[in-house]
Amino acid sequence: MTLKDFSIVIVLVLFSVLGRAQTYTVEGYVYEKASQKPLKSVNVYDKEKGILAQTNALGYFEFETTKPELNLIFYGLQYEILERTIDPTETSSLKVELQALSEELSEVQIIAQKEKVFTLNRLKDVEGTAIYAGKKTEVIQVDQSMANLATNNARQIYSQVAGLNIFQNDDGGLQLNIGGRGLNPNRTANFNTRQNGYDISADVLGYPESYYTPASEGLQQIQIIRGAASLQYGTQFGGLVNFIMKEPNPYKTLEVVTRNTAGSFGLYTNFTSLSGTKGNWSYYTYMNYKRGDGFRPNSEYESINLFSHLGYEFNEKTKLTGEVTYMNYLAQQGGGLTDAMFSEDPYQSNRERNWFEVDWLLYNLKLEHEFSKQTQFTFNFFGLNAERNALGFRTNRVNQIDPDQERDLIVSDFSNFGFETRLLSEYKLFESDATFLIGAKYYDSDNQEQQGAGSDGFGPDFSFRNDEYPGYPNQSEFDLPNTNVAVFGENIFYLNDKFSVTPGFRFEYIKTESDGFFRRINTDAAGNVIDDRTIPDQRSFERSFVLLGLGLSYKPIDDIEMYANISENYRSVTFSDINISNPAFSVDPDITDEEGFTADLGLRGNFNNFLSYDASAFALAYRDRIGFVQKVLDDNRIISERGNVGDAMIYGVESLFDFNLKKIFSLGSSYSLNYFVNTSVINSEYTNSQRPGIEGNNVEFVPDLNLKTGARFAFKNFGASIQYSYLSDQFTDATNSVEAGLSGVIGEIPQYDVLDFSMSYRYKNFKLETGVNNLLDEAYFTRRATGYPGPGIIPSAPRNWYATLEIEF
């Protein structure tokens, strides 16, 4: 469906919209009962619907409602919960006093308090200086998850996000690899990945891969906004993944949390955080260390991740925060497998000299200012200095034994900075509410990439040895500067209290450059050099365009919403991929950018606090989709080539249903019991292609069925969960190859299913978590890597256990 078609639908809907209902404003202050001190960060909830507001530094809160009666809950950390019923037609200004908690509270009382805290599964229409009305949004409450957080187990953490496809080959959780709707999961490159609202990937344009993943134990939420996020956050087809870190404790000057985890295959992790508030200053910082031997030979790893947040509140309207993140990890890589090798022994390795190192430094400075209750402004400055080193023996014959000669070395340096500024204002238009957002982003990067001969040793020596091996063929060196300027805007028009329309735009200016050389060496059958040339390569690609989008939201009653959106998308080809020589595949020299759109139509809500649901249909259209095809050369050799395959359409239905079974079985207040089922049914097809044998084929990374289901049970301070995951088979190249021969790079990923179990118990300031992942010990794989950590099949972890002890004081 085109944007023109959607505008026609809007016109038809507008004529059927009813008049505007009466809106009431409720405001008030929250104080500590004994000292009468104002309390900030107190959440105000509607008992039926969810959070309405949060108090500021003066204890002030404000929200609007159309209800003639409200059951409000006031919740602040370390304070007793207060419930109050009000009539907004008679009471618009409140004074609320909260009683400090007694230190002698029993475990049962603590659990009862937590049960009353409502958690949001979706973002509101407006959050801070961002607009989400009419978009498909999902929010994971990480700090309430029963997942294996120590190893960032994505299969568990993202279990209730519909349709996600996950590469599951990293038992240490060093990298996140998620995709969906036919998007390659590799390093989450098809999403715009952010941390507290700023970019964290290597290069948003030239190399949008995320080698850094925040420690899940330090996360409060993970926000996921699907393709329509392209208007506010970037042009990517996937949308946005935004990691929200935990906030400083507003009630203590020092809070310490330490978590130690041990598990299978030599796993050990430590997570220690410090948090607090003193006057106008607040801070949150953590250190996360992990090491392990890996579940295959030659797969040891060690990493350290440091994060620091420091905030200063000038007054109730202005706040300045700064953040610094550092991560370093070194991992040995056991290499990839062929189909035959995987069938023989899925956990074998014939590579012991392959190493991978990442060094990541992020920094951010954010200014938040409230001009008035209706107008807010943010300025976000961010930057990255990082390095990625890959060393090892790669060949298009995965089963070939390493000859212990010089290794291939790729060194990438990433240096970028930018800023993003946003202004959001609520106003009246013809006596109806409206919200306007305008923003701009500037991004500048200056990256270098070098490939050449490494040492012939066994250890992680990331120094070039081109002088020692002058005949080494894979030599190149490039400067890769990029510049991006974007202006974006959206506006919510509330036509009445039930229906809203949100049009938006994004203007993009992109300039990508490549300046360097590569060396081409040809040999005869005996290995003698017959041609040795150094070829300069300079490219400059400049373009500008406008993306348009539209969102619709209709809420006939409080707990039901029908939403629809459509948004154009764009993904620029990365020069860094093209300039690297890879024996596992070749690159079409005419490769160019991808274009298309995404659309959603869905129904979501909450039924009587018994069922939470979100069911939607989607469509994703590609023009010039990039992928792999099998190509026959003049000498009858068959190679894999990466390039623009053709136009494709991906469409399907995604749904999440979460049942509160406690109501059915009439369980007491000490119990909770939930069952969820997360289903994605997708169809895909290449509708047009200039390449032979492609049209009519299935699109890569699209399992017909993606199912995750499970149950969560709690009694007092004990909790347990079980989760089952199933994905049907999927292809990894456009020619729909089933087996990949000696390379293992392309071919089918067979169907697989996995069962996970976890449980936890809390006693006062102690918490014990344990579990078993892949309980049935399924041998499977989810990834065929084209480069490191392969090339070839990368197996997933067998049965493994973990145990975590948390102490808070």
- Do 37 and 157 have their domain in common? no
Q: End of a domain among 200, 226, 242?
A: 242
Rg (CA), the chain: 27
Q: Dump pLDDT digits (tens) for 444-486.
A: 999 999 999 999 999 999 999 999 998 888 889 999 999 999 9
Q: Which has the higher per-residue pLDDT, 4 or 491?
A: 491
Angstrom distance (rounded) from CA 548 to CA 70: 39
- In 749-786, which positions are buried (b, 16+ CB within 10 angstroms) versus exposed (e)? beebebbbbbbbebeeeebebbbbbbbeeeebbbbbbb
* pLDDT of amino acid 731: 95
- The closest of 336, 180, 158, 239 to 701, measured between CA atoms, is 180
* pLDDT of amino acid 128: 92
Q: Which has the higher per-residue pLDDT, 64 or 347?
A: 347
Specify the DSSP element, H or E, that contains 339.
helix 339-344
- Do 451 and 585 have their domain in common? yes
Q: Which has the higher per-residue pLDDT, 516 or 305?
A: 305
Interval 679-702 mean pLDDT: 95
For β-strands 178-180 and 281-292, DSSP reports them as unpaired
- Do 197 and 314 have their domain in common? no
Do 604 and 564 touch, CB atoms closer than 8 A?
no
Q: Which residue has the tokens 């749904």?
A: 655
Is residue 106 a part of any domain in this protein? no
Q: Write the Ramachandran bin of 182: left for phi over 0, alpha for psi from -120 to 50, otherwise beta.
A: left
End-to-end CA distance of the chain: 56
Within 13 Å, how many C-alpha atoms sit on residue 603's CB side?
5
Q: End of a domain among 194, 217, 242?
A: 242
**What's the CATH code of the domain at 54?**
2.60.40.1120
* pLDDT of amino acid 579: 64
Domain count, the chain: 3
Is residue 13 a part of any domain in this protein? no
**What's the CATH code of the domain at 158?**
2.170.130.10
Q: Given pLDDT bands bounded at 50, 70 and 90, which one contains residue 20?
A: very low
Answer yes or no: is pLDDT of 16 > 50: no
Cβ burial of 262 (10 Å; 0-12, 13-18, 19+) is: middle
Specify the DSSP element, H or E, that contains 356.
strand 355-370
Interval 154-170 mean pLDDT: 93
Q: Dump pLDDT digits (tens) for 301-352.
A: 999 999 999 999 999 899 999 999 999 999 999 999 999 999 999 999 999 9
Is residue 413 a part of any domain in this protein? yes
- Do 594 and 712 have their domain in common? yes
Is residue 317 a part of any domain in this protein? yes
- Do 188 and 89 have their domain in common? no
Q: Which two tokens stand for residue 499?
A: 């229906």
Do 710 and 722 touch, CB atoms closer than 8 A?
yes
Phi, psi for 401 (deg, rounded to 5): -70, 140
Q: How many C-beta atoms lie closer than 10 Å to residue 499's C-beta? A: 20
Question: Which residue type, as a one-letter code, is found at position 590?
Answer: D
Q: Dump pLDDT digits (tens) for 99-121.
A: 887 544 444 444 434 443 334 47
Phi, psi for 153 (deg, rounded to 5): -65, 100
Q: Write the Ramachandran bin of 274: left for phi over 0, alpha for psi from -120 to 50, otherwise beta.
A: beta
Specify the DSSP element, H or E, that contains 576.
helix 575-579
Is residue 225 a part of any domain in this protein? yes
Least reliable range by pLDDT among 732-736, 740-744, 762-766, 793-797 = 740-744
* pLDDT of amino acid 119: 43
Q: Which has the higher per-residue pLDDT, 638 or 162?
A: 162
Do 334 and 773 touch, CB atoms closer than 8 A?
no
- The closest of 174, 172, 212 to 195, measured between CA atoms, is 212
- Do 351 and 488 have their domain in common? yes
State how far the alpha carbon of 415 is from the alpha carbons of 410, 420, 449, 575, in Å. Answer: 17, 17, 12, 16
Q: Write the Ramachandran bin of 392: left for phi over 0, alpha for psi from -120 to 50, otherwise beta.
A: left
Q: Which two tokens stand for residue 238?
A: 């996937």
Angstrom distance (rounded) from CA 367 to CA 595: 34
**What's the CATH code of the domain at 669?**
2.40.170.20
Is residue 16 a part of any domain in this protein? no
* pLDDT of amino acid 410: 94
* pLDDT of amino acid 581: 63
Report angle CA 49, 52, 57 to the nearest 5 degrees: 155
Report angle CA 141, 142, 147 to the nearest 5 degrees: 125
Answer yes or no: is pLDDT of 551 > 60: yes
Least reliable range by pLDDT among 338-347, 535-544, 769-778 = 535-544
- Do 189 and 264 have their domain in common? no
- Do 42 and 183 have their domain in common? no
Q: What is the pTM of this model?
A: 0.89
- Do 721 and 755 have their domain in common? yes
Q: Which two tokens stand for residue 343?
A: 């069938």
Is residue 1 a part of any domain in this protein? no
Answer yes or no: is pLDDT of 239 > 80: yes
Answer yes or no: is pLDDT of 5 > 50: no
Interval 78-84 mean pLDDT: 86
Per DSSP, the residues of 610-639 read TEEEEEEEEEEEEEEEEEEEEEE-TTS-EE
Q: Given pLDDT bands bounded at 50, 70 and 90, which one contains residue 708?
A: very high
Mean pLDDT score across all residues of the chain: 89
SS3 helix, strand, coil % of the chain, rounded to 5?
Answer: 5, 55, 35
Question: Which residue type, as a one-letter code, is found at position 598?
Answer: T
Answer yes or no: is pLDDT of 575 > 80: no
Q: Given pLDDT bands bounded at 50, 70 and 90, which one contains residue 421?
A: very high
Percent of the chain past pLDDT 90, that is, above it, reads 67
Is residue 109 a part of any domain in this protein? no
Bridge partners of residue 288, in order along the sequence: 271, 305
Q: Which has the higher per-residue pLDDT, 574 or 226?
A: 226
User: Highest-confidence range of 14-23, 28-37, 60-69, 303-312, by mean pLDDT?
Assistant: 303-312
Q: Which residue has the tokens 């919960």?
A: 81
Interval 376-399 mean pLDDT: 94
- Do 701 and 764 have their domain in common? yes
Angstrom distance (rounded) from CA 76 to CA 55: 10
Least reliable range by pLDDT among 198-212, 300-314, 589-603, 638-652 = 638-652
Q: How many C-beta atoms lie closer than 10 Å to residue 269's C-beta? A: 24
- Do 86 and 159 have their domain in common? no
Angstrom distance (rounded) from CA 47 to CA 443: 43
- Do 393 and 510 have their domain in common? yes
List the domain range (segments joined by +) for residue 467.
243-808
Interval 278-302 mean pLDDT: 97
Q: DSSP label at 479?
A: E
